[in-house]
Structure 1
Amino acid sequence: MSLRVLIADDEPVSLERLRLSLAAFSDIEIVGSATNGEEAMSLAECTPADLLLLDIQMPGRTGLEIARELQGPNAPEVIFVTAFADFATEAFEVDAADYLLKPVKQDRLEEAIQRARRRRSPTGGAGTVSATQTVRPPVETGYEHEFWIRKRDGFLRVPVDQILRIEAARDYALLHTDTNSHILRITMAELERRLNPENLLRVHRSAFVRPDTVARIERNDSGVTRLHSHDGAMIEVGPSYAKRVASALGVPLESAKT
């Protein structure tokens, strides 16, 4: 079943790049495009769409304002595509499926779209645990078992066992679960102290990965190591973390080469 997508960006070059990136997906139909917030809102109200890819800072209305006005049980999923990390908190307060920073990498776009699909599926939803995960009972190890995420109307508990991947976003961390992303004001160094590496392994200065979600390890001729997860994400391993990651996954570095 095709995914109907509406895209909006006030920069023509960015809009065209997004259009070309989406052309790689055979089951995506672009049902409309807009170059300002008012046009995007009008299209969203009159054009059936499953997913909106919105820039945030646009003339007329911002992407955040559009997402707030469209919220409801039948609202389309929203992925923000922006050059600024500063709006991540507000983006996840309106329950965005993902938050992509320009220039958008194709693998991150694919991951975000897959997350949006899962959220729209009958079996999707917050709190879903991936089939690749094992929920473990809390053990007194000194490590975190959960994080409380501030939301507009209170706080949301996110168990560590539901987090698939963490990426840095300036002074914040994006906690990615199977169907949602959450933002937490914390440094990666602090996360490394508070997380059990058996559950979430630091693989880069700006990334953690749940080891049991890794489906494939790639190491090219230049020595760059990448992890491919079951949900389609691709995470680069920092050079100083490569041996540690290979050891944790039980894979000799030389056998990870493709």
Structure 2
Amino acid sequence: MRVLLVDDEPAALERLSALLADASDVSIVGTARNGREAAQAIADLKPDLVLLDIQMPEASGLAVAAALPLDERPEIVFVTAFELYAADAFEVEAADYLLKPVRFDRLRQAIERARRRQALRAAAARAESALAAPADEDPDGFWVQVRTGFVRVPLADIDWIEAAKDYVLLHTATRSHIHRATMNALERKLNPAELTRVHRSAFVRPSRVKEVQRLGKGLISLMLQDGVSVAVGPSYVNAVTGRLALYQD
């Protein structure tokens, strides 16, 4: 995976470089120290992944990510010293959000998640020219297109769901599947007691939530049993905490 590092602090760039030296199948293709340099480096180098600071001169990391064309953007992992931007980071569909000082285990987890998302989106592009899927009228699952045809993914197997442009990623304990659907269509289909909408771009199975993490200013994220952290949108916080309280009861 080709990685671009963006941070206005030289020490932060050095730390990320040192951590990535121990990561497998990762190469650093460049660095940038402000928002303008970041946007230019992304356009010139076309990295697979950008480790992007948020508070920078010229333009913030959030502004850089929001301005990227959706059909050309790399995976984004924000790296910042501040928790308060977590909800904003996931609004621009970041793959992950790391707090400084970055730990190697969290960095590795973020890279693997970005790698998985990249592979799934590539599969979606290939699927555009394939045969149409069977009518998705199964109330207890999804028919998902794969290279050799279609497979059924039961709702009971899904731990959480995230939006990916015109598709959704159905995450199970063993693998992730990409499926063409809208979040609003899913909300009409899914039982909120089993898969609860926690963000405009995410659903989570309450029974898979291991920990509720408070991010400050009333914001929270959900740590799932496999270590994935899913941000809860500000407008969903009360409903999600209420749903989790009911589930625990």
Instruction: Place the TM-score, normalised by the shorter chain, in its bin.
Output: 0.5 to 0.7
Deviation for aligned residue 1:192: 5.4
Whichever residue aligns with residue 174 of structure 1, its letter is S
Equivalent of residue 174 in structure 1, options 200, 221, 231? 221
Distance 2:194 2:105 in 1: 29
Deviation for aligned residue 1:172: 2.3
| 1:223-249 deviation digits (Å, cap 9, x = unpaired) | xxxxxxxxxxxxxxxxxxxxxxxxxxx
2:206 touches 2:244 (CA, 8 Å); kept in 1? no
| 1:184-233 deviation digits (Å, cap 9, x = unpaired) | 44489867524459xxxxxxxxxxxxxxxxxxxxxxxxxxxxxxxxxxxx
Which structure 2 residues correspond to residues 133-144 of structure 1 after superposition, within 5 A?
144=193
Deviation for aligned residue 1:106: 1.1
Percentage of identical aligned residues = 39
Worse overlay, 186-195 or 75-84: 186-195
Unpaired runs of 5+ residues, structure 1, are 134-142, 198-258
Distance 1:38 1:165 in 2: 39
Equivalence for 2:197: 148
Distance 2:209 2:197 in 1: 16
Residues 1:158 and 2:210 are matched in the alignment = no
TM-score by length of 2: 0.63
CA RMSD of aligned residues (A): 3.1
Deviation for aligned residue 1:37: 1.2
1:144 touches 1:196 (CA, 8 Å); kept in 2? no
Residues 1:73 and 2:71 are matched in the alignment = yes
Deviation for aligned residue 1:36: 1.1
| 1:66-112 deviation digits (Å, cap 9, x = unpaired) | 11111412310000000011111111010000011111111111111
Deviation for aligned residue 1:38: 0.9
Whichever residue aligns with residue 37 of structure 1, its letter is G
TM-score by length of 1: 0.61
Whichever residue aligns with residue 42 of structure 1, its letter is Q
Distance 1:74 1:58 in 2: 23
Equivalence for 1:193: 245
Q: By percentage of residues, which structure has more helix?
A: 2
Distance 1:73 1:161 in 2: 32
2:221 touches 2:229 (CA, 8 Å); kept in 1? no
Aligned length: 182
Equivalence for 2:169: 127
